[in-house]
Structure 1
Amino acid sequence: AVHADQLWMAPYAQLVRDAAPTRPLTVLDQHNAVYLIPGRLAADEHNPLKRGLLALEARKLARYEAAVCRRFDRVTWVTHEDFAAVQHLPAPAGEPDAAPLPNAGVIPICADPAATAPIDQRPDARRVTFLGGLHYPPNAQGVRWFAEQVFPQVLAQAPDAVLTVIGKQPPPLDGLGIPAANLDVLGYVDDPAPYLAETAAFIVPLLAGGGMRVKIVDGWTWGLPMVSTSVGAEGTAIAPGENILLADTPADFAAATVRLLTRPDVGRRLRDAGRCTAEQAYGWRSVYRAWDRVYAIED
């Protein structure tokens, strides 16, 4: 069998398939409905030229994605939402309209909670932490949104909070008026654990994206209290108010963040429930049988 990990690897899988003496089973592991990403970025882009280019990219990707997925024998998805988002796309010209979109099942991205001890959070934790690659446009957009529109409201109620940004290629944030004592842009770090131990609120302020956010699963695995937008938590086993706090406006996101900075009991409750979610729903052993079924080749 030939396995393509994400849409970008699909052309190479097809080359291998076509060159094989006997046609192998081909499987595409779709981590996102990719066309949604530039589409959502366009919706929040104020520059009309950038907005138009992003919208054009979304339309082109939608046509490409709808065609490529139909060229594989089996396609796996990380969320039901992604399958539905691609399923409704019409088959492009030249593709068989009657060909159903291959669906080998929804298999989430998992972690290894059994091998990962929860972070021992310090009682004086004051960090509000984002962790993720900032070269990824939705991450950079979300961090800028939080820094510009949310964090000033947090500081008004919790003046000792520290916005901590971990991840390579961070966007410039030093011109936003945040005092130096309240901003820690670290870039890439080998071991984020010391900073996570000082974290009162682990934030996922995404406004765009697709698939499931692995950082949500990581946050639960580490036992961190989290605040996320609805987009940031898509495709994960959220129980709002129990294993995560959800907020979609700057005021609501700031209020939820301040709640974790000022109510350690709420943070502990979220930590415990989130860790339980990771152990029950996102251990790799829980998906082994699903992958076995994907690769079961019928005679």
Structure 2
Amino acid sequence: MTVYRLITLRPPDPQGSGDSRRAQSIVRALEGAGHTVVLAPILAPGQTLFSSLLRPTALMHLIWVLLRYGFTRPLQWVAVQALVPGNPSGELSPHQTAFYVTSRVAPPEPPAGFVIDFVDSLAANARGRSHRGPGVSAFWRREARLLERWERELAAKSMLATAVSETECATIAPNVAAVPLEIGPRLRPSPEAEARGYQSQDPTVLFAGNLYYHPNAEAARWVLEVLTPALVSRGWRREQVVLAGRRPGRALAAMAERAGATLLADVPDLQNVIEGASVCLAPLLLGSGIQFKVLDALQAGVPVAMSAQANRGIGLSDSDMVRVVERKAEPFCDAIDILLTRRNRVVPADVHSLLASASPAAVQHRWRSLTDAAGR
């Protein structure tokens, strides 16, 4: 059996951000196969990348990394490497294998025989952000170009490279293998968590996610500025529009207050909030990969109105549980109305297949198959 040193930005966390949930899935799969996992997160629990970079030692190392790699590597990689005074793989023993979760944490010269899970393509994410205004487009075009080169370089050197969907794999490199996201069986929350959750007797539309993540924050602003007034014009009350997630910024909180929407920040059990919603929203224009918010809602039996971007890599068709529409107020309002009226839902075949592929047993079997084959 192999000893894997799992290098991540944040510690594995089943309730955390997407890469933290992914890392937790990897730990379960590797340990379930009899391997040993040594965790090596760059950030401590509760730390943020920005606050960590403000430490004097990190600032000094940031200057060094910028001078050494700033012209040839993406700046989001530079920012993460500034928090690593040495190579995060440098403590590998001869019997350990480095396993990187996202390209941001891989060192300039990874050791031989490493494994990398890109999760999704950061280059595709950056390309999407390059269309969001003249002030930042040049920066994000540069990031996309350098990220694409870095991702291809890592994939070519790796013993095994993975991502969450065939779409993401094809975007990164030909030798990248798909491993779906994992959604575990739904466990009832503790009475304390349930009491602190949010349940409404009225229909609610919910946008849930990590609200500090830029693509989520951008979608949340659209919900408040565009969708909420359109729903109000159709007879909805403002408080029936619900935003829930971790670490909403002050500007977003102030916007929610002005809009009269319900903002649930840092709830202890986000899945409990999802289960109480009538329709979940995924009106994303930015980002990449597969959205946990879509999987979590469908697993809970809650229908989803989403944009084509949120459907990227999933490929669901319109049904009693799903509507994929253009991100404009009227199409989203129409989709919500349709989903609310179809209460006797039969789970369509594509949703059933998606959830089956994301089950713990299926995902862990996929990880074991790939790591066993790579280690031969």
TM-score in same-fold range (> 0.5): yes
Counting aligned pairs with the same residue, the percent is 20
Most deviating of 223-232 and 156-165: 156-165
Secondary structure at 1:295's aligned position in 2?
A: helix
Alignment check: 8 A CA contact 1:133 1:167 kept: yes
More relative contact order, 1 or 2 (CA 8 Å, 6+ apart): 1
d(CA) in 1 for partners of 2:369, 2:279:
39
Aligned positions, number: 268
Report the counterpart of residue 321 of structure 2 in structure 1. Answer: 243
Secondary structure at 2:130's aligned position in 1?
A: helix
1:1-299 equivalences in 2 (<5 Å): 1-11=97-107, 14=110, 17=111, 25-43=113-131, 45-46=132-133, 48-87=134-173, 101-103=174-176, 105-113=177-185, 115-116=186-187, 124-160=201-237, 162-171=240-249, 172-173=251-252, 174-175=254-255, 179-180=259-260, 183-192=261-270, 195-236=273-314, 238-250=316-328, 251-261=330-340, 263=341, 266-269=342-345, 276-277=352-353, 279-296=355-372, 297=374
The alignment yields a C-alpha RMSD, in angstroms, of: 3.0
Alignment check: 8 A CA contact 1:221 1:278 kept: no
1:257 Cα deviation from its structure 2 partner: 2.0
Aligned amino acid, residue 109 of structure 1: L
d(CA) in 1 for partners of 2:352, 2:182:
14
Secondary structure at 2:106's aligned position in 1?
A: helix
d(CA) in 1 for partners of 2:219, 2:302:
19
Aligned amino acid, residue 370 of structure 2: V
Q: Deviations over 1:129-158 (max 9, x none)?
A: 111111111111111122222222122113
d(CA) in 1 for partners of 2:346, 2:283:
17
d(CA) in 2 for partners of 1:159, 1:86:
43
Alignment check: 8 A CA contact 2:99 2:115 kept: yes
Q: Note the residue ranges of structure 2 that are not aligned, 5 or more in a row.
A: 1-96
1:40 Cα deviation from its structure 2 partner: 0.7
Alignment check: 8 A CA contact 2:295 2:355 kept: no
Q: Note the residue ranges of structure 1 that are not aligned, 5 or more in a row.
A: 18-22, 88-100
Aligned amino acid, residue 186 of structure 1: L
d(CA) in 2 for partners of 1:122, 1:200:
10
1:58 Cα deviation from its structure 2 partner: 1.6
1:294 Cα deviation from its structure 2 partner: 1.4
Secondary structure at 1:35's aligned position in 2?
A: helix
Q: Tell me the TM-score normalised to structure 2 length.
A: 0.63
Alignment check: 8 A CA contact 1:238 1:244 kept: yes
Alignment check: 8 A CA contact 1:30 1:76 kept: yes
